Amino acid sequence: MARKIDPSTLKITDVRFADIDGAPKRCTLIKVFTNQGIIGYGEVRDASSRTYAAMLKSRILGENPCNVERIFRRIKQFGGHSRQGGGVSGIEVALWDIAGKAWGVPVWQLLGGKFRDKIRIYCDTDADGHGKEMGKALKERMKMGFTYLKMDLGIELLMGQKGCLSAPLGFLEKMREYKKTVFSTPHGSIDPRAMRGEAYELFSTQHHLTGIHLTEKGLDFLENYMADVRSVIGYEIPIAIDHLGHIPLEDCIKLAKRLEKFNLAWMEDPVPWQMTEQYVKLSNATTVPIGTGEDIYLKENFLPLLKSGSLAVVHPDVLSTGGILETKKIGDMAEDYGAAMAIHMAESPIACMAAVHVAAATRNFTALEVHSVDVPWWEDIVKGLPKPLIKDGYIDVPNAPGLGIEELNEKLIQEKLHKDFPVAWAPTTEWDKEWANDRLWS
């Protein structure tokens, strides 16, 4: 007979980690243990550090994990934008998983119910060569059943094209040189140990300060590239573009005007998200929809962009925003300002299912990103979900308790462990008594 769970007496007893590689990047998986045997699964955002989550352990031990928002409000001060939000977010996801299991309902039910039974997926797509090759790669996605597409369209395509970019002499050559060492994995994760001196300057300088500009020849190339893509896939299917490169606002405007005829779903992260006025100028200068948000932590930091009216699409990542409930709140707030919500996701099926529950419970949701369509073992990391997980471009919303994941595939995790952390679920007792006066007011 199954053990009866008493949610009122649940306590958090431990937090442990396993780092795997290539799914598609480095992923830090989280287990939050309880006194009644329930384990909650979470995850730190791709290519981030487990320390952001480990430091929270002493602050949540002994707490009832079902009090998700109470715990979140205690720990959210230890998160930050982009990957720095991954620890708080990953722990929050695991708490929702426990709460759903404890009460016997899926997370989407705890969020107020669902608006849809299946979640539309789009997958980022890479291709070598010119626009026709990218078009063929995207056409293959369509044959797999995907009804929404995304691709990169930016200065990376122009690096080998003579006369397409202008920059301080030697700058682009140094970028190419450093990329060979800084981007040290097959999936493009930046190795922070290589980010020193000039390398840091090259890859950390904000867009408008790099001195990189598109020439008219470069604009012609990108316009023709997009035309070739549309000639293969047609104009009926939505397609978004990403990774424009570190170019200034003026160049983004020039490029957007060239691309208006191609009926884009959105142009993603054209300038740093903090620069609200630049988003306003861009959106006023073009009919291309503008989207951003995967690096923004907490709902209040989306508010200036939404109030400005510059965004057609908010694009949060559940593992950056602060977690499941914060992402749901961001979606609801975006709807109030007339924006749709797409969700960024480049992690394991744990993060994917967290996003699925948010998408199910948020009315203005559009599409969820999956970065691992070409990783054959990706969905095998977890057990209990349908296979294939993605069917005809959709993921079915689960009805099982919590995230819907029964357990993790420990054998596969052992095979895929990251070289820097060769032991899965090792004790984390060094974090049990980490302490500080965390109060934010006197």
- Give 363-418 pLDDT, tens digit per residue: 999 999 999 999 999 999 999 999 999 999 999 999 999 999 999 999 999 999 99
Residue 190 near residue 182 (C-beta atoms within 8 A):
yes
**What class, spelled out in words, does domain 7-106+407-431 have in CATH?**
alpha beta
Residue written as tokens 């722990």? 91
Mean pLDDT of the chain: 93
Of 181 and 300, which is predicted with more confidence?
Answer: 300
Of 326 and 176, which is predicted with more confidence?
Answer: 326
Q: pLDDT tier at 271 (50, 70, 90 boundaries)?
A: very high
Is pLDDT at 328 greater than 90 in this prediction?
yes
Residue 233 near residue 138 (C-beta atoms within 8 A):
yes
- pLDDT for 177: 75
- Dihedral sign (CA 235, 240, 244, 248): positive
pLDDT, tens digit, for every residue of 7-61? 999 999 999 999 999 888 899 999 999 999 999 999 999 878 999 999 999 999 9
* C-alpha–C-alpha distance, residues 130 and 352, integer Å: 31
Of 414 and 206, which is predicted with more confidence?
Answer: 414
- pLDDT for 195: 58
Residue written as tokens 């030697």? 170
- Which residue, 360, 368, 347, is CA-closest to 48? 347
Residue 123 near residue 371 (C-beta atoms within 8 A):
yes
Return the CATH number of the domain spanning residue range 118-396: 3.20.20.120
Q: pLDDT tier at 205 (50, 70, 90 boundaries)?
A: confident
Q: pLDDT tier at 160 (50, 70, 90 boundaries)?
A: confident
Of 6 and 23, which is predicted with more confidence?
Answer: 6
What backbone phi and psi angles, to 5 degrees, belong to 349?
-60, -20
Residue 122 near residue 150 (C-beta atoms within 8 A):
yes
Q: Any idea where the domains of the chain sit in the sequence?
A: 7-106+407-431, 118-396
Q: pLDDT tier at 186 (50, 70, 90 boundaries)?
A: very low
Q: pLDDT tier at 191 (50, 70, 90 boundaries)?
A: low
Q: pLDDT tier at 321 (50, 70, 90 boundaries)?
A: very high
Query: Dihedral (C-alpha) 173, 176, 181, 187: value to the nearest 10 degrees?
Result: 170
Q: Looking at residues 130-137, what average pLDDT do you find?
A: 96
Residue 330 near residue 299 (C-beta atoms within 8 A):
yes
The H or E element spanning position 30 is strand 27-34
Of 42-51, 219-228, 318-327, 395-404, which gets the smallest average pLDDT? Answer: 42-51
pTM, 2 dp: 0.95
